Structure 1
Amino acid sequence: MLLLVACATASAAARERLSLDRGWLFHQGDLVEAPIVGHEESYSNAKAGSAGGAAGSEYDDSDWRRLDLPHDWAVEGPFDPKANVAQGYRPRGIGWYRRYLKVDPSDRGKHFELQFDAIATHATIWVNGNVVNRNWSGYNASYIDITPFLRYGDALNTIAIRVDAEAMEGWWYEGAGMYRHSWLVKRSPLHVVTDGVHATPRQLKDKQWSIPVEVTLNNSGKQAGEATVEVTVYDPSGKQVAQRTAQARIGVLATSSVQLPIAINNPALWSLEKTNLYRVTTRVIQGGKVYDEVSLNTGFRTIRFDASQGFFLNGVHVKLQGVCIHQDHAGVGVAVPDSVWEYRLRRLKELGVNAIRFSHNAPAAEVLDMVDRMGFVVMDENRNFNPSPDYMKQLEWMVRRDRHHPGIVLWSVFNEEPVQATEVGYEMVRRMSAAVKALDDTRPVTAAMNGGFLTELNVSHAVDVVGSNYQVPDYDRFHKARPDKPFTSSEDTSAFMTRGEWKTVKEKNLIASYDDDAAQWGNTHRDAWEAIATRPYVAGGFVWTGFDYRGEPTPNEWPSVSSVFGIMDLNGFPKNAYYIHQVQWIKDQPLIYLAPHWNWKQGDNVRVMVMANVERFKLLLNGRELADQKVDPYRMNYVNVAFEPGKLEAIGYKGGKEVARAVVETTGAPVKLELVPDRAQLAGDGRDAMPITVRALDAQGRAVPLANDEVTFAISGGGRSIGHGNGDPNSHEDEKGATRHLFNGLAQLIVQTNYDSKDAVTINASAPGLQAAALTIPVKPVAAEPFVTLADAPLTFVRSWRIAPDGDARPDPNQKLASFDMNTWGWGSPPMRAAAGSKYHLYRASFTPRKNLADGSGHIRFAAIKGKAEIWLNGQLIGKKDSFAAGPLDVALPAGAGKRELNVLLEAEAGQGVGIEGNVTIEPAR
């Protein structure tokens, strides 16, 4: 079982947000119960808390796999050529998760909420056999009030989740399972609701700003409550700069909002370069004590999309140098640790990216926090285009959760919808845009249209900023037709490259990296950016994509299992597109790069590509000058060179002076492995993870670009491997196994610390014929975030009882009750007490012991019985209690499988009551 214990100090009434990531039980595949056919079964099935099978409280999950979240089961499975190409040929299917909670009686009266940040794809959630939530998107969170369903003390609470990952929302790899974090939140009955603080700053004039804070409160208590709501604002240094209070009265089981506008003068502005974040802390105070507290970050900045000049941040023109990204990574699928997300964003920052479109769904909340800290602007995009109530809730959830983030500058309501050029599309967007504006009117609404914006009535008439996917020939036509409408590329490029490949081999699904190949609807990286950069009215662009992703392996099919659109591969290793964009997007430092590698055959005619942001360059081979050219900032430069072994150099000049140099050399054969960590150390919190680059070196210590050796990994100490990849879009290797081939010289291993780890993590890598490599990564002991701790295995509780009419004549303990008779006998759960009066009392229940207790090793334990007792099981007397006084009873459970019928016959002492006064459990022998 799991004990509800917060591993952090908190006041008795304060909010506790406890991680629920640890200790889930998982079963892959559906579990279908036999059809319900009988009178009693039909009647019981329709009652609260009576879910059967794996959804029920007492289901035997003792042989299920134990795991921690985040979890993506699809990435663990084999590839199947019969599976969906869009999902990367990964079978998905259906899976079940279960977890147990034990709630201390001292917490009775508090408000309990389950939070699941995302589950792929559709999920049904039960608590104690009650359906508490059905979620229809794999990208939005579920917030579930479970307070009315809870049991306290030794009686365990059961969470059961059926995940249907056969359902698809996208045409890319979506993973399967509980792939983001989960939480249990304990709050005072009178509390701030989740996402209930609206704190989006507004500029009044010049340096005068306001945060028109709105706080939404709920009262789950048994009486109306009054409280003081206090909002405090802290500047980026942590200094308090403003505070305001308001009184609130919330009725029983009611929700209400209070407004607390706060004036802020001359705040430090948030920008891409200086990510100044202010902390807004809201407290609910009753009787001088803080009963709830919630904090969020926000930032002060202005944004403007101009129809002729593009995008402005804080009044300064910024060209959006953006990428679209999905959410999967090598080795882990969509269950990406927070620290690996930080690595991915850092790689984008180093590339020169300043804008991200999370396509085509809301990202994890932690990722948006990173975006704010690291300095990106964001197009936050809705997944399902539908203004009907169920789907409008998804859009409203995204806006409500995300509106405090200064990095978000656009709300996108859809991507590439067939009705975009019609009145239907216009009307749908008009309603969705209105819903967005009702929650946040400080940012423009857009939609990513791949055509149709020149018709008489279309979606472009219902949005604030028109987003265009790939319609380069229509950029100027639209601007001429609608010169007053702000315009941006919302998606562009769709060019193909296989990392490290320089010859296109169609029969092997390999595509050269010279930026010559693009989708029929798209453009090369160079063409797409030139079309954007040379048009001032285009606010910017979002390259499809920043990283390769599983699925959608256009223009290929099997055996290709991932895309080749990325500027980087699935690991975050740069392709040639990385350098093309880096020299175009980074202006404050001189850069020059050479491609390809210099390991060819004597006499090969090699097409050399020079990418630079300087004025001129010289190309030298073994010291001989081959070319002296002016740099082309859009097209790049190409020189054909007859290969000879040695050193190829490009020297960049500005103002006649050398400012940058790039070198590629002919290497020898690989002789040893090398492991290159991404950071100097790991945190021992069980969540921190690190990508480690694996490569082969020659005798002179140079990376060998064509190495493809199979590497075996062994990890020991305070961590473990959680997956690996190599960027090969055609690889079918097990991403969780012990081995991985290098692909064009590189692979990546991801290690994660164990919970409460203090020991360093040691990685050993070996390959036939090569010197092995070893790496030890120090682990810094850190306090784990508050969590629900693991305890012993769950017990079986016998809870649902029938109660026979009382009487003075001894009844037959095994008497039959008609299956359609739901009223002669009553119903109850322990504690069950009968007042003084009748002499005999009969209770009946059924249970199925867990497999590990069906062999005769189990015991039926009554925490307390008052009165003499006979215990009958399947018609056989198996135990007695001969004392009238209240006390425990322990009876051995005879061996046997299947459902058992338990009858308890109680005899009362004259003038005394009787009853089953505590839990009845099926347990191992003590």
Structure 2
Amino acid sequence: MKTTFVAKTLLSFFLLLSFWVSAQKSDRELILIDKDWRFSFGHLYDTEKDFGHATGYFSYLTKTGFGDGPAAKDFDDRAWRKLDLPHDWAVEQPFSESASFSHGFKAAGKNYPEKSIGWYRKKINIPESDLDKIISIKFDGVFRNSKVFFNGFYLGTEQSGYNGFEYDVTAYVNYGGENTIVVRADASMEEGWFYEGAGIYRHVYLQKTNSVHIKANGTYVTSEFKNNEADVIAAVSIENKGNYKGSIEIVQTIFDNEKKQIATFSESLLAPEFYKTITHHSKFYVENPKLWDIDSPNLYRLVTQIKQNEKLIDSYETTFGIRTIAFDPENGFFLNGKSLKLKGTNNHQDHAGVGTALPDEIQYYRIKKLKEMGSNAYRCSHHPPTPELLKACDELGMLVIDETRLMGINDYHLNDLQRMMERDRNHPSIFCWSVGNEEWNIEGGIVGERITNVMQNFAKSIDPTRPVTVGISSGFKSGISSVVEIMGYNYLGNGDIDAHRNQFKNQPGMGTEEGSTFATRGIYFTDDAKHYQSAYDKKPRPTFYSIEEGWKFYAERPYLAGMFIWTGFDYRGEPTPYGWPSVTSYFGMMDVCGFPKDNVFYLKSWWGKEPVLHLLPHWNWSGMEGTAIDVWAYSNCDEVELFLNKKSLGKKKMEQNGHLEWKVNYSPGTLEAVGYKNDKKVLSEIQKTTGKVEKIKLSLDKENVAKGNVSVVTVEVTDKNGLHVPTANDEIEFAIKGGKILGVGNGNPTSLENDQFIDNLALVSITNFQEQKGTTAVLPQQLSNYSESEWITAFKDRDYKKQVPSYIYRGEFELKSNSVKNTVSFFYKKIGVENVVFVNGTKVEPSTEDAQKYTFNTAILKEGKNTIYIVATPLQKVKDWDVMNTDPGVIQVITPAEPWKRKLFNGYVQIIIQKEDNAKEFVLSASAKGLQTGILKLK
């Protein structure tokens, strides 16, 4: 059914209908539940340290609702750490030489069984008014192998750390009361050979819908554009998880970026049967559409509403774009009918200070940094990304290759591919699906060919509008490369690209990985002892190519659609060509913070549209007077002239996609480059010898989005004249009011400093727990002397039908230290009706906030063994099969964190801060010995 605004009567009807429907409230709610989770480490194989999980007579797999240990609804988690999501526990850990090379030597994972299992718990209230709704919990991703429980009921296991997943909990809800969500994440096994983090590092949502609703990722919007007109086709999958039988009405409306309604549609149809799904198709006509483009990322919004007996029961929004994409084996890639060279980068998903738990604002920050460099494409290496990354690419105009994790033809592989594609296929930024990367074991043979054929055809059945690629690195002659739709070349040094193209002339191709290099930001002389690589662009290995060599190769060949550099940002892990103590890669055009290496300006010169002139290195070379220094200029000017202390060192002509070089004997002062176009001076760039550091400067990064509570702050030091000092490595200490610090970084690949400074929370068990009988129900206010001969193991062989008036319990707990800065609390778990607690002979009063919590004065404690007494009147069994608590509780020791700090690396530090929800402003201060403090106030 087509509609236009030419038919005024029909338009008025639809406008009124749409207004009336939108004024109603849908049954659908999507509630972010990231705040106020409890977290504790479990253990990979020691069940006692894993809180006794899965040790009961009946396990959660044998009987429904038998989640035990922390999986139980009423497990006492008061002593656990309180935190907000997203959370990456790996980034919080120290570095260790014995830890995983690929995961950046963070002390987590299989070699650290006490830091490989993470438990998360959250309590939520669900009102009785939701009784007729479908209630589900949505996870965007948990690394990894997560088991989820709800009110003690096991919901399922998701192996992959990158898939989003959802569980229906409707049958298990305590309506009108408290409900408990529990997640056990097992990060002992790595999926990738790069830093992957650990824990619930993506968002979690509570979703409520009517029993008749649009299913998860249930819309698929495509468009056909020609002659300045577009047909928009929407497929909507509706499912029924209730007993309703009868008709429903579907009402769909398209809005543009300015919230202007441009098309609408409505139709009645029969609801699907119980637990069945139907797919409804509709077609819209859009005249003079605003196309999605990298420079003008115009977006539309499809609002799909379902009515039942004239009542709005569901409303589902889908963001999409209208654009055309095409690959040509002779002429490369086309966007909206125009030739576009792909200027892409590969990237993993971690960032300095926060690991993989990126706030949404950091996703925008990173994409803006890449756009500023001139990049127009992003390859998700090598796994499905966060939804927020794709949203940022849609809104900022960045093309995307979306990539699944593993090749194969069984349910594990194809189901993962399908979930990724169905979640992501409405994003206009995605122009290609990747079903594999560097599968060396199968790339060159018949098995790889078969798997690729299956995955490629399977992908086409889900989304026929986009092509499929695979990144290939072990030769470009046979196997996968013979059958893949878009050839993905990984590195010139791995095969003859021109020869492959001549053999497969109808197969389009692009460089899915190219131009890898080794470079350390701000370093200009390689020092292998310090693990520093010079930032001058060079071959990383004899058979590999520099950034410039790689770009020239692809830029000069129209049949190649473009290239994706390895990588846009440094990342943790793969510290090639070094090992410990290098903990991050050297491949990035930017470091892990997003501070640019000099290669950024080479790319900006030839990828961007604005005039560029960049001069390297810095000009602080005290003690090297008279030494010949390599001076390079990156520019897209016609010519560049170099001056040292106002004396010309010559003018040189810039070749296309090249750079310029001089040898300059060092003399302190001013090194200046002047760029000319058409014989006219258009740009100048200065590197000046600076004085000593005197001031700390804080600046809000210009790539920060205007909305949101998270900000990226650049920290640097200047001399008395305000000049940035590029060689400074001072340690800076931070303090904040009205907010909190999320993480710090400096881009130093060998830095073993903390990414985060958080209080250390230790749980100390009470051991050697014994009891003896009391003679009265009156509880003592002072501790008596009890006969040593009468102590027996607590609760052993207790006859609950013949209990005495009271019991005296005694146990021990060990403190590694007894600092006055520590907070030591006892979280008591009821083993009696009434009780009194003594520690080292002194009575302790319960806290006012929680009658079963006791905070100990450090004056009564001592390093080493401490003794706790609990005198209590006994609990009574109501039924013979009642299970009585025999755990007296746990000791929590909180050691305050050190102040936040970080050493500058070649002049820079980055700090990520978050404003408190109700704060009117927050103030960040940075200080260092002998320097003027820097202060930044943000509203």
Check whether TM > 0.5: yes
Question: Are residue 317 (structure 1) and residue 339 (structure 2) matched?
Answer: yes
Corresponding position: 1:27 with 2:69: no
Contact 1:320 1:354 in 2 (8 A): yes
Q: Give distance in 2, aligned partners of 1:42 and 1:677.
A: 56
Preserved contact between residue 365 and residue 705 of structure 2 (Cα < 8 Å): no
Instruction: State the one-letter code of the partner of 1:397.
Output: R
The question of 1:238 aligning with 2:259 is answered: yes
Structure 2 residue 533 is matched with structure 1 residue 505: no
Q: 1:45 to 1:137 in 2, by over 3 A?
A: closer
What amino acid does structure 2 have at the position aligned with 1:362?
P
Give CA deviations for 1:73-124 in whole Å, capped at 9, x if unaligned. 0000000110110000012211110111221111101011111101112111
Residue 657 to residue 407, structure 1, CA distance change in 2 (3 Å):
same
CA distance in 1, matches of 2:403, 2:79: 40
1:134 equivalent to 2:154? Answer no
- Tell me which residue corresponds to 1:854: none
The Cα of 1:29 is off from its aligned counterpart by 3.0
Kept after mapping to 1: 8 A contact 2:54/2:68: no
TM-score (norm 1): 0.80
1:771 is aligned to 932
Q: Deviations over 1:201-236 (max 9, x none)?
A: 123x43343222111111112333531111111223
1:796 counterpart residue number: none
- Unaligned stretches of 5+ residues in structure 1: 1-8, 779-926
Task: Provide the C-alpha distance between the structure 2 equivalents of 1:637 and 1:758, rounded to a whole number of angstroms.
Answer: 51
Q: Relative to 1, partners in 2 of residues 1:769 and 1:44: Cα closer, same or farther, differing over 3 Å?
A: closer
Change (3 A) 1:47 1:728: same
1:534 maps onto 2:556 in alignment: yes
Q: Secondary structure at the match of 1:606?
A: strand
| 2:176 matches 1:153 | yes
Quick check: 2:47–2:53 contact (8 Å CA) kept in 1? no
CA distance in 1, matches of 2:665, 2:345: 36
Three-state SS of the structure 2 residue aligned to 1:41 is: coil
Check whether the contact 1:493–1:528 (CA below 8 A) recurs between aligned residues.
yes
Which of 76, 82, 85 aligns to 2:98? It is 82
Q: Which residue of 1 aligns with 2:710?
A: 689
What secondary structure sits across from 1:214 in the alignment?
A: strand
Contact 2:59 2:68 in 1 (8 A): no
- The CA deviation at 1:49 is 0.3
Q: Letter of the aligned partner of 2:678 in structure 1?
A: G
Pair 1:43–1:542, CA change in 2 (3 A)? closer
Distance 1:148 1:646, change over 3 A: same
Specify whether residues 111 and 38 from structure 1 end up closer, same or farther in structure 2 by C-alpha distance, changes over 3 A only.
closer
Residue 458 (structure 2) aligned to one of 425, 428, 435: 435
Distance in 2 between residues matched to 1:681 and 1:578, nearest whole Å: 19
Aligned partners of 2:212 and 2:271 also within 8 Å: no
- Post-superposition Cα deviations, 1:752-804, rounded to whole Å, max 9, x if no partner, equal 1123x2321101110011111111111xxxxxxxxxxxxxxxxxxxxxxxxxx
How far apart are the structure 1 equivalents of 2:304 and 2:499? 50
Tell me the CA shift for residue 306 of structure 1.
0.7
Instruction: For 2:549, give the aligned amino acid.
Output: D
Match of 2:289 in 1: 267
> Are the aligned partners of 1:282 and 1:295 in contact in 2 as well (CA < 8 Å)?
yes
Deviations 1:500-551 (A, max 9, x none): 0001011111000111241455311111111111111110000000000001
- The aligned amino acid for 1:342 is Y
- Separation in structure 1 between the aligned mates of residue 265 and residue 190 of structure 2, nearest angstrom: 46
Change in 2 beyond 3 A, CA 1:223/1:747: same
SS in 2 for 1:274: coil
Q: What do residues 401-455 of structure 1 show as CA deviations (whole Å, max 9, x unaligned)?
A: 1111111111000110020111111111111112211111001011111133312
Look up the SS of the partner of 1:342 in the other structure.
helix
> Aligned partner of 2:755: which letter?
E
**Mean alpha-carbon deviation: is it higher for 445-454 or for 276-285?**
445-454
TM-score by length of 2: 0.79
Q: Partner amino acid for 1:731?
A: S
Is 1:14 paired with 2:27? yes
- Corresponding residue of 2:242: 221
Q: 2:126 is paired with a residue of what secondary structure?
A: coil
**Conserved? CA contact 1:433–1:462, under 8 Å:** no
Aligned partner of residue 322 in structure 1, secondary structure:
strand
Identity of aligned residues (%): 38
Equivalent pair of 2:137/2:205 in contact (CA under 8 Å): yes
Work out the CA distance in 2 between the residues paired with 1:484 and 1:105. Answer: 62
Quote the offset at 1:153 in angstroms.
Answer: 1.8
- Residue 704 (structure 1) aligned with residue 866 (structure 2): no
Aligned to 2:914: 752
After superposition, the Cα gap between the structure-2 partners of 1:699 and 1:281, relative to the gap in structure 1 and judged at 3 Å, is same
Q: How does 1:777-788 map to 2 (within 5 A)?
A: 777-778=938-939
Superposed CA RMSD: 2.1
Deviation at 1:45, TM superposition (A): 7.2
Shift of 1:275: 1.1
The aligned counterpart of 1:734 is 754
Alpha-carbon distance change, 121 to 37 in structure 1, aligned in 2, over 3 angstroms: closer
Return the alpha-carbon distance in structure 1 between the equivalents of residues 60 and 374 of structure 2.
62
Aligned 8 A contact 1:112 1:186 in 2: yes
Which residue of 1 is the match for residue 923 of structure 2? Answer: 762
Distance 1:689 1:564 in 2: 27
Contact 1:497 1:517 in 2 (8 A): no
Deviation at residue 680 of structure 1 after TM alignment: 10
CA 1:281 to 1:521, structure 2 compared with 1: closer, same or farther past 3 Å?
farther
| Cα shift readout 1:448-470 (whole Å, capped 9, x = no counterpart) | 11133312xx1123321111100
In the alignment, is the contact (CA less than 8 A) between 1:200 and 1:403 conserved in 2?
A: no
Structure 2 SS opposite 1:370 = helix
**Structure 1 CA distance for aligned equivalents of residues 743 and 612 of structure 2:** 34
What's 1:782 paired with? none
CA distance in 1, matches of 2:52, 2:497: 61
Instruction: Give the distance between the partners of 1:340 and 1:166, measured in 2 at CA.
Output: 27
Q: Distance in 2 between matches of 1:90 and 1:542?
A: 28
Match of residue 653, structure 1, among 676, 697, 703: 676
Instruction: Write the distance in 2 (CA, Å) between the matches of 1:700 and 1:438.
Output: 64
| Residue of structure 2 equivalent to 1:593 | 614
Amino acid at match of 2:650: A
CA–CA distance in structure 2, aligned partners of residues 191 and 725 of structure 1? 45
Distance 1:436 1:37 in 2: 40
Structure 1 counterpart of 2:572, from 540, 550, 575: 550
User: Partner amino acid for 2:351?
Assistant: H
Counterparts of 1:149 and 1:255 in 2: how far apart (Å)?
23
Letter in 2 for 1:315: G
Residue 477 of structure 1 aligns with which residue? Answer: 499
Structure 1 equivalent of residue 424 of structure 2: 402
Aligned to 2:374: 352
Residues 614-693 of structure 1 aligned to structure 2 (within 5 Å): 614-679=637-702, 688-693=709-714
1:579-629 deviations in whole A, cap 9, x for unaligned?
11111111x322111000000132221110111101111100111000111
Matched residues in 2 for 1:255 and 1:465: separation? 34
In structure 1, what is the equivalent of residue 772 of structure 2? Answer: none
Answer yes or no: is the 8 Å Cα contact 2:743–2:912 preserved in 1.
Answer: yes
Write the letter of the residue equivalent to 2:421: V
d(CA) in 2 for partners of 1:124, 1:389: 19
Q: Which amino acid aligns with 1:391?
A: H
Distance 2:704 2:559 in 1: 46
- For residues 275-314 of structure 1, give each alpha carbon's deviation from its aligned partner in whole angstroms, at most 9, with x where no partner exists: 1111111001112221111111111111111101111111
1:341 counterpart residue number: 363
SS of the counterpart of 2:91? helix
Report if the CA contact (8 A) 1:33-1:52 is conserved.
Answer: no
Give the corresponding residue for 1:722.
742
Q: Structure 1 387/772 Cα, relative in aligned 2: closer, same or farther at 3 Å?
A: same
The amino acid that maps onto 1:449 is: I
Q: Is the 8 A contact 2:146 2:159 kept in 1?
A: yes
